[in-house]
Structure 1
Amino acid sequence: MKYGHKVSGWALVFILLAFSNQSWAQRAKKQSGTGKPANVIFILADDHRYDFMGFTGKVPGLQTPNMDRLAKEGAHLQNAYVSTALCSPSRASILTGQYAHTHTIVDNQAPLPKGLTFFPQYLQEAGYRTAFFGKWHMGNTEDEPQPGFHHWESFRGQGVYYNPKLNINGKQVTYSDSTYISDLLTQHAIDWMKQQDKQKPFFMYLSHKGVHAEFEPAKRHRGRYKNMPVRYPASMFLTATDTSNTWPLRNKVAVNPEMKTEVNLAGIPEWVKKQRYSWHGVDYMYHGRINFDDFYRRYCETLLGVDESIGQVLDYLKKAGIDKNTLVIYMGDNGFSFGEHGLIDKRHAYEESMRVPLLMRYPDVIKPGTKITQVIQNIDIAPTILAVAGKPTPSQMQGQSFLPLLQGKQMPWRDKAFYEYYWEYDFPQTPTVFAVRSGRYKYIRYQGIWDTNELFDLQNDPEEVNNLIAKPEHQALVKQLAGELYDWLESTGGMQVPLKRTIKMRDGDYLHPNQY
């Protein structure tokens, strides 16, 4: 080398890393348009479906002024989907940028495998201060601090709405006096932001319990929607025209006057018909512990606490003078059914389950009122946040950054969403599900049961009630979409069910490998 100096292999590695980190930092500063990389706030709600926001007009009387503000001042990503509509797998996909069959957290009990890297760890390498507040909920991890976060506040499992116990950096702290979880987490998150050096970037993950069942609104919101009209989905009452309010038999076709569309009753899978009268069905929901109207209204009231949390975060950013250089993301971990197909809950591959709200505000980059129609999935969140920080997408991540779309640029992008859900011991009514959703069609394949698969024309049948799977004129399309589904699974290592070493005990608890 020049000047006759010898450089060891390790020294060369450190030099390359230094240049690489410098280039990432420069890229992030250029991206933000300011003197430092952008701050990032990721706010996650539980079980919030894509259309239960005031500005969509779906729910008469529903008020979400702060979600509306995010959409008005930033971007509404109108076709956002999770790759698995279940808490733990979806949250793991957000953190890892991987599909469930890759990170293998396939249900709410599956333990974390060794070797997973969460995207906040890369942010720490880029000089970010990081913090987590709220629901973690992944298998055997309970509430212990996790890699990637300098500051940690969480609770065990699903947690509680009132008087929670938090693990704050390894110390258990119990709250009383009707402390409401959404308010507590938000205040702690804002307090943490106030302590940060404004010359350095930060990443904050605010993970709400709301609006997970069983819904409990803040005291100030109880009864707010007691007179709200309940809009029942047409597919909640599918009956043949010549029958009473009984579930139809096979080989009948009905015309539902509310839908003004033909309904192929014979195409409804048997598992869907039978689940109607179950824990997750409208005729015996939660074993009859609550009626549908109260359930619906209480969900909307509980959502008010999440919306207020967003507003408090936005207000703090503006007051602190850092709102323009802060990317705020709001998302749901999965959707939720309110009577569609006679179902409640999520897990299945119908739109209300796999589709989620996704809003982003970043004034330095995103133009107000931006609408993005491309198919975005939860695996794309990590690469996009890393891109904002000036970091490349790690090779193990299966998602990709959509930052250019937020900037108003054109870029090659997928036109399909892929979906998977694996049968659970605790909720055996729903089978293993694989699906592919294109812009117009959705193909759903059920694994391990003797039943019909499904094909929907979403353009002409947005309620997904007319199964076209047996129509002769659609057989070529069925073959094409089934091939694309298997190509996706095969190319991403998903041609197997990831089994986990868990044991269900008589008392309902699960044991993991280190417990037996």
Structure 2
Amino acid sequence: MLKHLLLLLVVFVGSFAALAQQPGKRPNIVIIVSDDHAFQAISAYGGDLMQTPNIDRIAKEGATFNKAYVTNSICGPSRAVILTGKYSHKNGFKDNENSSFDGSQNTFIKELGKGGYQTAWVGKWHLETEPQGFDYYKILPGQGHYFNPDFINMDGSRERIEGYVSSVTEDVAEDWLDGRDKSKPFALVIGHKNTHRTWMPDLEDMGMFDSKTFPLPANFYDNYTNREAATVQDMTIDKTMIMGYDLKMFPDYDNIKDGNITRMNEEQKAKFKAYYKPIYDDLVARNLTGKELVEWKYQRYMRDYLATAASMDRSIGRTLDYLDKNGLTDNTIVIYMSDQGFYMGEHGWFDKRFMYEESFRTPMVMRYPGVVKPGTQSEHFVMNLDIAPTMLDAAGVAIPKDMQGESFLPLLTSKKAKGRDAMYYHYYENGEHSVSPHFGIKTGRYKLIRFYKRVEGWELYDLQKDPQEMNNLYGKKGYEKITAKLKKQLNGLLDKYEDDGAKALLAKEGGNR
């Protein structure tokens, strides 16, 4: 009798495991990661800079995360956090200057693979070492190029593919989907180069915003009073943005040496010249100086950046159409997110890095048919740190105990679920754009930041009264209690996430622990 029961149990467990492996029983996963795409430039977030119909479709058919943030606002480190579910000090990839990703460490992709998923990454990778743990990859070397991009294959060979990078990346993704093992669920990461500097739109999108004049952000002419780190940075549209490299303004369009242009074919070069040369000629004729020139640069930046975003949004639409045409939509999670936010002229800046909202906060929308109610607006704090455990949770795969993120599925499916009340951030790079390393805490109302190395000091913001983060309250009378409370909370997060480097720095100050 006992043997009979054991046999029945083995058959049941085996049948359950086999059922779990069948396609349609566990969700497929598509994660689309863009580069430097600002939430301000996505119409699902209520902005009127441009329309992003395909990103908006994911939001309408799923959830919009209105309070999604990153742990470290810079390209490579953000991808490492997404993969590992760990902060930069734990996964080892702290900055783009001195780090390379240790591919031997565990990732959610490896856990999905062990759980029966077929896995792939195509497009921008930007982690310095070759991907490990994927069944397939085809990646851009480094930052990649917008036109006729090179790709690194799994055998280490390189090939140049004619076309525009977001379209070519989508082609590669669809080719893999066509040839995948359809007996397995899949997890595919599509890494887009767009909208990274130098903002080169597809040929058909050049000029699409030329008839629009964009209003200057209210703090475009920020003078950085009482904010030393902001004072010493080098990322302004005025002084940092380069006329040729960034804005494609060249004295001789027949002899451009810029590698982004020289790799174009003759047809592409002809269209590039036909669009940009008249703009350059007009600029020369106008002989702008001072604020007029700065504001001209801002308009050019916005037009090229947004057109580059439009090129990418169209490719995202192709991804959604592919899922529709192949009967995959109902059983596929789709997440769109950027590796961080970006400045659209706020504080007079482009780029990212700072813990201020525009770069700390990232766009993220998610569709999960049958689980996430269409049109959901999430106001919970979530982070790129949470992607790994959330995907494992959705796939029914155990979440490794050393992952520091948390699954946000309960936040989308239960009104009783409680998320974070505070978030921790740490930016390490001390070179590019002269941004000082810093770490800090954000709560529902306040933000406390500790800058170090390049600049030593604290900043405190009341985001309810000062959402643009212009008035540093640190050390001002009347804010002693909230400062002490925030420092205590910050120390609690340092303990939780085991950031010994930041703890040691605070310990040197004394009285903060």
TM-score normalised per structure 2 = 0.81
2:422 to 396, 412, 416: 416
Q: For residue 455 of structure 1, what is the amino acid of its counterpart?
A: L
Letter matched to residue 466 of structure 1: N
The alignment status of 1:149 with 2:134, answered yes or no, reads yes
Structure 1 residue 292: Cα displacement: 2.0
Deviations 1:23-53 (A, max 9, x none): 7887798xxxx85211000000000112211
Q: Which deviates more from structure 2 when the two are superposed, residues 296-305 or residues 284-293? A: 284-293
SS at match of 2:157: strand
> For residues 191 and 176 of structure 1, what CA distance do their matches in structure 2 show?
14
Counterpart in the other structure of 1:254: none
Please give the per-residue CA displacement for 1:41-98, whole angstroms capped at 9, x wherever unaligned: 00000001122112333234x1210011111111101100000000111110000000
Q: Look up the match of 2:388.
A: 382
Q: Deviations over 1:265-293 (max 9, x none)?
A: 643x1231233xx3x11321234544222
Q: Distance in 2 between matches of 1:87 and 1:98?
A: 15
- CA drift of 1:495 comes to 2.2
Residue deviations 1:202-256 (CA, integer Å, cap 9, x gap): 1110000011001111111111111222122111123xxxxxxxx4xxxxxxxxx
Query: What does the per-residue CA deviation read over 1:82-131, in whole Å, with 9 as the maximum and x for residues that have no partner?
Result: 00000111110000000011112001140224741121111111111111
Partner residue in 1 for 2:300: 294
User: Counterpart of 2:278?
Assistant: none
Alignment of structure 1 residues 307-326 onto 2, 5 Å: 307-326=313-332
Question: In the alignment, is residue 138 of structure 1 matched against residue 127 of structure 2?
Answer: yes
- Find the aligned partners of 2:16 and 2:502 in 1 and give their Cα distance: 41
1:342 Cα offset (Å): 2.6
1:125 and 2:109 correspond: no
Structure 1 residues 318 and 448, CA gap change in structure 2 (3 angstroms): same
Describe the SS at the equivalent of 2:500.
coil
* 3-state SS of paired residue (1:117): coil
Contiguous gaps of at least 5 residues in structure 2? 4-8, 248-296, 504-513
What does residue range 291-370 of structure 1 map to in structure 2 within 5 Å? Answer: 291-370=297-376
Amino acid at match of 2:118: R
AA aligned to 2:177 is M
Change (3 A) 1:392 1:26: farther
Question: In the alignment, does 2:267 pair up with 1:283?
Answer: no
Correspondence 1:442 to 2:400: no
Letter in 2 for 1:285: T
- Give 3-state SS (helix, strand or coil) of 2:220's partner: helix
Helix, strand or coil: the match of 2:472? coil
5 Å-filtered alignment, 1:109-120, equals 109-113=98-102, 115-120=104-109
SS in 2 for 1:453: strand
2:458 paired with 1:470: no
Match of 2:461 in 1: 456
Once residues 183 and 351 of structure 1 are traced to their aligned partners in structure 2, the CA distance between those partners, rounded to angstroms, is: 31
Task: Specify the alignment match of 2:53 in structure 1.
Answer: 65
Question: 1:106 maps to what in 2?
Answer: 94
Moved more, 369-378 or 166-175: 166-175
Relative distance call for 1:233 and 1:47 in structure 2 (3 A) is same
Note if 1:273 corresponds to 2:215.
no
Partners of 2:18 and 2:153 lie apart in 1 by: 31
Indicate the structure with greater helix content.
Answer: 2
* Secondary structure of residue in 2 paired with 1:235: coil
Q: Which amino acid aligns with 1:458?
A: L
Distance 1:212 1:270 in 2: 27
1:357 partner letter: P
Bigger mean CA deviation after superposition, 418-427 or 205-214: 418-427
Distance 2:420 2:458 in 1: 24
Q: Residue 176 of structure 2 aligns with which residue?
A: 192
Match of 1:385, SS? helix
* Separation (CA, whole Å) in 2 of partners of 1:76 and 1:114: 31
Q: CA deviation at 1:487?
A: 2.4
- Aligned partners of 1:316 and 1:114: how far apart in 2? 30
2:167 paired residue among 183, 192, 195: 183
Q: Where does residue 232 of structure 1 map in the other structure? A: 216
Quick one: which of 190, 207, 218 aligns to 2:202? 218
CA contact (8 A) 1:24 1:391 kept: no
Q: Is the 8 A contact 1:422 1:497 kept in 2?
A: no
- How far apart, in 2, do the equivalents of 1:360 and 1:58 lie? 19
Cα distance in 1 for partners of 2:18, 2:30 equals: 19
SS in 1 for 2:478: helix
Q: Which runs of 5+ in 1 are unaligned?
A: 4-14, 239-246, 248-264, 499-516
C-alpha distance in structure 2 between counterparts of 1:346 and 1:22, whole Å: 50
Determine what percentage of the aligned residue pairs are the same residue. Answer: 38
1:424: how far off? Answer: 2.6
- In the alignment, which of 485, 494, 506 is matched to residue 490 of structure 2? 485
Match of 2:37 among 36, 44, 48: 48
Q: Tell me, in whole angstroms, the C-alpha distance in 2 between the residues paired with 1:426 and 1:484.
A: 30
- AA aligned opposite 2:411: L
Structure 2 Cα separation of the partners of residues 450 and 419 of structure 1: 17
Measure the CA separation in 2 of the matches of 1:393 and 1:231.
Answer: 46
What is the count of residue pairs matched by the alignment? Answer: 444
Shift of 1:479: 1.3
Contact 1:25 1:390 survives alignment (8 Å): no
